[in-house]
Amino acid sequence: MNVCRLSILLLSLLLSVELLAGWPASATEVWLGPQSPKRAADFLDMFRPDAPWKRAAAHVNVFKLYEGYVISAPQDHVDKIVADLNRRHIPIALEGGLMNVGEGSANPPPPCGGWGRVEGYSVPKAAMLVASKVKKAGGYVKYFAMDEPVWYGHYYQGQPGHLGCHSSVDQIVKVMESNLRVYTEAFPGIVVGDIEPTNLAEQQNWQSEFSAFSTRFREATGTPLAFLHLDVLWEAPSKDRSVTALFRHGETLKRQGYLGKIGIIYNGTGNTDESWIRSAHDKILTIEVKNGLRPDQAIIQSWSPYPTHTLPDSSPNSLTNLVNFYVDTKRR
């Protein structure tokens, strides 16, 4: 029996066990976040009316763009993307930094953090450029996913020239205000949530620190964090323990009114399209079958060179096919 047939049989067995256990039908929101055109060769082809991802598109609740991509993209590319997502009635999310450190009239290098130096940071002029491009295209950003502010703002060590700031959670929320104001003024009602890596759950006092961050965010904005998306460090030996700990803490914050939804980012590892997709399948089953976690949101995303194609959704090695796999698996 070859490896492919064996994998299919094992998957069928796992799904059968879950059916007997009463695995509920999916009410999970599906987010899709492809790489930029520099990594996915057919990224812009997704936004043709006849693009071959009709089945996957019917299941995508939110389409996520990277803030950095929108900054560098030509306006006509942004126009094409927005027009097609509007036609498909798929809301837009942005992933990017909100922490603003060191911006001045001459934009001097800050002693730590800073736009282009450490993830999670940006500057208001970048936010204004992104907002203006999307609005000019006739678009509306419904969601903003903050790029790991507690990790990069508080815990990240860094290296010379790219040091972490080790800011308090109060300071983190404070330095977000200017960038957040740009987006809330440009897109009234924008929904703001957080992304954090699962190794957050391995840091000292992480539960109290993240609880304090969610509390301070609600006090400053008047609304709780709309979501927490878990960026799983799949290669870490402690990943199962860390993802479960962070997920359960998120559930506590939901009950307390400091958090809306919990999501998990599903991506892959490997140096071919086939190996990347196969590992993504395994990770979905690990999280939702082996670990028994039921996320409110599933984020199908890649920032690596793989898979090299987003289309067609009928191809087993495309990113949009991973959407179909997720939906079909949950339905079974």
Residue 63 lies in a domain: yes
Residue 171 lies in a domain: yes
Residue 146 lies in a domain: yes
Residue 240 lies in a domain: yes
Calpha distance 180→202 (Å, rounded): 29
Q: In the prediction, which pLDDT does 103 show? A: 55
Nearest partner of 186 among 124, 114, 101, judged by Cα: 124
Q: In the prediction, which pLDDT does 158 show? A: 87
CATH number at residue 307: 3.20.20.60
Residue 7 lies in a domain: no
**Sequence-separated (6 or more) residues with CB below 8 Å from residue 208:** none
Domain count across the chain? 1
Q: In the prediction, which pLDDT does 24 show? A: 41
- The angle subtended at Cα 103 by Cα 101 and Cα 108, nearest 5°, is 105
Q: In the prediction, which pLDDT does 17 show? A: 39
Residue 108 lies in a domain: yes
Ranges of residues in the chain with a pLDDT under 70 are 1-26, 102-110
Residue 15 lies in a domain: no
Q: In the prediction, which pLDDT does 110 show? A: 64
Calpha distance 59→181 (Å, rounded): 32
Pairing type for strands 29-33 and 141-147 reads unpaired
Nearest partner of 73 among 136, 142, 140, 30, judged by Cα: 136
Q: What is the pLDDT of residues 96-152, one digit of tens each?
A: 999 997 654 334 456 788 777 899 999 999 999 999 999 999 999 999 999 999 999
Nearest partner of 311 among 62, 90, 65, 52, judged by Cα: 52
Calpha distance 287→265 (Å, rounded): 11
Calpha distance 125→103 (Å, rounded): 10
The answer to whether residues 113 and 152 touch, using CB atoms and an 8 Å cutoff, is yes
Residue 31 lies in a domain: yes
Domain that holds residue 95: 26-331
Q: Enter the pTM of the model.
A: 0.90
